[in-house]
Amino acid sequence: MHDRGSRNGTLVNGDRVTSHVLQSDDLITIGDETFCFEAAGEMETIMDALVLQSFIRSAVRVEPESVLHVTISGGGPVGLSLALLLEQLMGQRVAITLYDGRWTQDGSRIIWKSQAQGNVRRQQVVTIQSRQYLNLPEEAQERLFRKESYSEMWPTGPDSIRGFSPRNIRIASVEDTLLELANEKSGRIQLIPANFDPIEHHETVAKDHVLAICEGGRSRTREYFTDKFGTADKSIYSLDGQHIQDVVLGLRVKSDLSDPMTILLTVAQNRFLLNALRGEGFLNMRLTDAEAKEVIGIDPIRHVFEECIASRPCLMSRTEHGEFHCSTHSTLFLPALVKSSALWKRVQEGLVLFGVTEDNLSAVQSFRLDMVQRPRFTAQLYSATSSTPGTYGFLLGDAANAIHFWPGRGLNSGLASAISLARSLNRGWRGRPFRDADFIRHEAAMSMLQYRHKSRAWKAMVTTDEHGVTCAIKEKIVQGIEEGGADSDRDADIDALMEQLRQIRSRLSPRIPGMPDDETLLEHLRKLKSETLRTLLVSGVWDTLIVGGEEVDIDIFDRQDPSDAPVASGTPRSAKQAEEPYEHTKLVSRKPTGSISSG
């Protein structure tokens, strides 16, 4: 049983709880009602739960003027999660319209467009922390984390709650699953396969209560409302007045290394990062400015260069002839065609480092990563009038906090923002126009997420030398390339890398079994060229001490205020309390072990 933030609170055997594993004969008190939990057979439990759910939904009648109208622009994982959370929390009290131009109609269902229709699906593997996925609707959790769809590669940490580990899953799998669920909620979630246009839909939005902007880092809707949300500040993520930007080459690969060895090699340097699902994923390579200029495509027919891979960015898939081809622009990845390309030789070294044969490199893609500081995430877009309720806008996901992905947390930050907003809307909606004060907690949560995750990501873009001078990590990679020539001390670099690997291994071994021994690591490093060894060493290890520590816990904003103390059984509810629905409280049996009867 979980209390989802009810004002009256939930008591089990007289004690107030937020989460409790029910035992036979437990007494559950909600307001002035008491229930007794009784053990029963599995089928009886399932049928009782279905009957109870059907009874509650049919018994609650919601007047049209009491329905919260929400428009969501952007149907990626964040927008879909927000819609499903609102549907779960508010039921008939909410009506949601969700827009995304990457969808298309397929009979009665909305599905993702295919590559032939101009939509290149994201195949990157992302890591979702248990602090986020355990707050998603339970049916979403059950479908997302089926046996073959995820793995648990990374160790637990401060963002791991209730004993659950971080989980790796393909982003396309998340999108497919959440869209499938949204299709099943057509009574309250309307899916529109089109891009949201704030000008075209001005009148519609002005009549809605909420516009949630979840379009991504280059959101046009956010830019349209810049006068409401304010202008982003680049200076905080700049050095000597120059905004720092990383260019990362993403290589879709299948590695033969074990997960423990992959983690150890990833954390030991800042040049390459592999996040995988059973070996398959993207090997990300941080580029120098000179290397980034080599990321270009060539049209072999017209003999012209195209920057599609660098500016769109387009995915270039491997052909049967071993070339990397962009199906949208009919271009080939130039560095892979030029034998003298310094960039491609270093790509091949990255493959060796992570146990990838060249045949298991199936595609290349490029990402440009930088960050800005946003002044606010909540704004009243349209004032209330005699015919409109006043529309509040919210920035969520990458539209709010586009984060450099090297240390992770981009999707986690987006999911946390969706969870926070869903709870705030559920808590604040009383059938009348919202006020600024209704979103104090949500705005605070968003500011915490920005501070925590962007501070960590900035430490993954820059480093500080022994004199306290800060520089971009990509400049350290330039230094490693220059020092890794014929005069470099290869054996000394191997010894230094081995010492770093031992230190990391000793720290991680208690949480990650199966770490490689010294002999295995030494044999592996000896396969690399001197330039690569020097570059890995100079790029530095992940600074887990500096970026570690407490994580953002948005649950603190949903704990009861003193004024919201539980009402004792049998005590009449006040007039204000009488207006509060009991829908915040949800009784859940994770395994069918019992039923609930009125006491």
Residue 328 domain flag: yes
Q: Residue 99 carries which side chain, given as an amino acid letter?
A: Y
Residue 66 domain flag: no
Residues 346 and 437 in one domain: no
pLDDT band at 488 (very low <50, low <70, confident <90, very high): confident
Mean pLDDT over the full length of the chain: 88
Query: Domain ends where: 322, 342, 369?
Result: 369
Q: Residue 389 carries which side chain, given as an amino acid letter?
A: P
Residues 376 and 449 in one domain: yes
Tell me the average pLDDT across 473-487: 91
pLDDT band at 107 (very low <50, low <70, confident <90, very high): very high
What burial letters (b/e) apply to 488-501, b meaning 16+ CB within 10 Å?
A: bebeebbebbeebb
Higher pLDDT residue, 2 or 366?
A: 366
11-38, pLDDT tens digit by residue? 888 788 888 888 877 888 887 677 888 7
Residues 302 and 438 in one domain: no
Query: Cβ(380)–Cβ(390) under 8 Å?
Result: yes
Residue 22 domain flag: yes
Query: Domain ends where: 407, 437, 458?
Result: 458
DSSP code, position 367: E
Higher pLDDT residue, 434 or 487?
A: 434
Residue 352's pLDDT is: 98
Residues 81 and 221 in one domain: yes
The structure tokens listed for 229 are 């949300």
Tell me the average pLDDT across 506-519: 95
Domain that holds residue 592: 2-60+569-598
Write the DSSP assignment of 16-59 as a string of letters: EESB----TT-EEEETTEEEEEEE--HHHHHHHHHHHHHHHHHH
Q: Where are the alpha helices (DSSP H) in 354-469?
A: 398-401, 410-428, 440-459
Write the DSSP assignment of 311-332 as a string of letters: HSPPPEEE-TTS-EEETTTTEE
pLDDT score of 177 more than 70: yes
- Element spanning 544, H or E: helix 544-547
- Alpha carbons within 13 A on the beta-carbon side of 246: 30
Residue 553 domain flag: no
Residue 363's pLDDT is: 96
Give me the residues paired with residue 391 across strands. Answer: 382
Q: Where are the alpha helices (DSSP H) in 91-194?
A: 130-133, 138-144, 171-183
Give me the residues paired with residue 294 across strands. Answer: none
- Alpha-carbon gap, residue 376 to 229, rounded angstroms: 6
- Alpha-carbon gap, residue 569 to 32, rounded angstroms: 4
Distance of CA 244 to the CA centre of its chain: 23
What share of the chain has pLDDT > 70, as a percent? Answer: 88
Residue 584's pLDDT is: 41
Tell me the average pLDDT across 402-425: 92
- Element spanning 239, H or E: strand 238-239
Residue 56's pLDDT is: 56
81, 179, 166, 71: which is closest to 121 by C-alpha? Answer: 179
Residues 332 and 404 in one domain: no
64, 96, 99: which is closest to 83 by C-alpha? Answer: 96
Contacts of 224 (CB under 8 A, 6+ apart): 198, 199
Residues 223 and 83 in one domain: yes
pLDDT band at 576 (very low <50, low <70, confident <90, very high): very low
Higher pLDDT residue, 267 or 405?
A: 267
Residue 149 domain flag: yes
Tell me the average pLDDT across 526-549: 91
Residue 503's pLDDT is: 96
69, 422, 441, 127: which is closest to 276 by C-alpha? Answer: 127
Write the DSSP assignment of 59-114 as a string of letters: H----GGGPEEEEEE--SHHHHHHHHHHHHHHGGGEEEEEE-TTEEEETTEEEE--
Residue 564 domain flag: no
Query: Cβ(297)–Cβ(307) under 8 Å?
Result: yes
What share of the chain has pLDDT > 90, as a percent? Answer: 70
279-305, pLDDT tens digit by residue? 999 999 999 999 999 999 999 888 788
CB atoms within 10 A of CB 155: 16
Q: Residue 158 carries which side chain, given as an amino acid letter?
A: P
Residue with tokens 């081995």: 498
Residue 464 domain flag: no
Q: Is the peptide bond before 313 cis (omega within 30 degrees of 0)?
A: yes
pLDDT band at 80 (very low <50, low <70, confident <90, very high): very high
Residues 409 and 515 in one domain: no
Residues 43 and 97 in one domain: no
pTM of the model: 0.82
Give me the residues paired with residue 379 across strands. Answer: 393
Greatest CA separation found in the chain?
85
Tell me the average pLDDT across 482-489: 83
Higher pLDDT residue, 40 or 488?
A: 488
Residues 384 and 326 in one domain: no
End-to-end Cα distance, the chain:
17
Residue with tokens 């131009």: 101
CATH code of 77's domain: 3.50.50.60
- Alpha-carbon gap, residue 86 to 556, rounded angstroms: 19
In the chain, the number of structural domains is 4
- Element spanning 250, H or E: strand 246-254
Residues 362 and 377 in one domain: no
pLDDT score of 450 more than 90: yes
Residue 395's pLDDT is: 98
* Residues making up the chain, counted from first to last: 599
Query: Domain ends where: 350, 369, 388?
Result: 369
pLDDT band at 580 (very low <50, low <70, confident <90, very high): very low
Q: Residue 441 carries which side chain, given as an amino acid letter?
A: R
Residues 538 and 498 in one domain: yes
- Dihedral, 80, 86, 89, 95 alpha carbons, nearest 10: -130
Tell me the average pLDDT across 537-566: 78
Q: Which of 61-65, 366-370, 488-492, 595-599 has the least mean pLDDT? A: 595-599
pLDDT score of 210 more than 80: yes
pLDDT score of 567 more than 50: no
Contacts of 403 (CB under 8 A, 6+ apart): 371, 409, 410, 413, 453, 454, 457
Residue 21 domain flag: yes
Residues 215 and 81 in one domain: yes
pLDDT score of 355 more than 50: yes
Tell me the average pLDDT across 385-401: 95
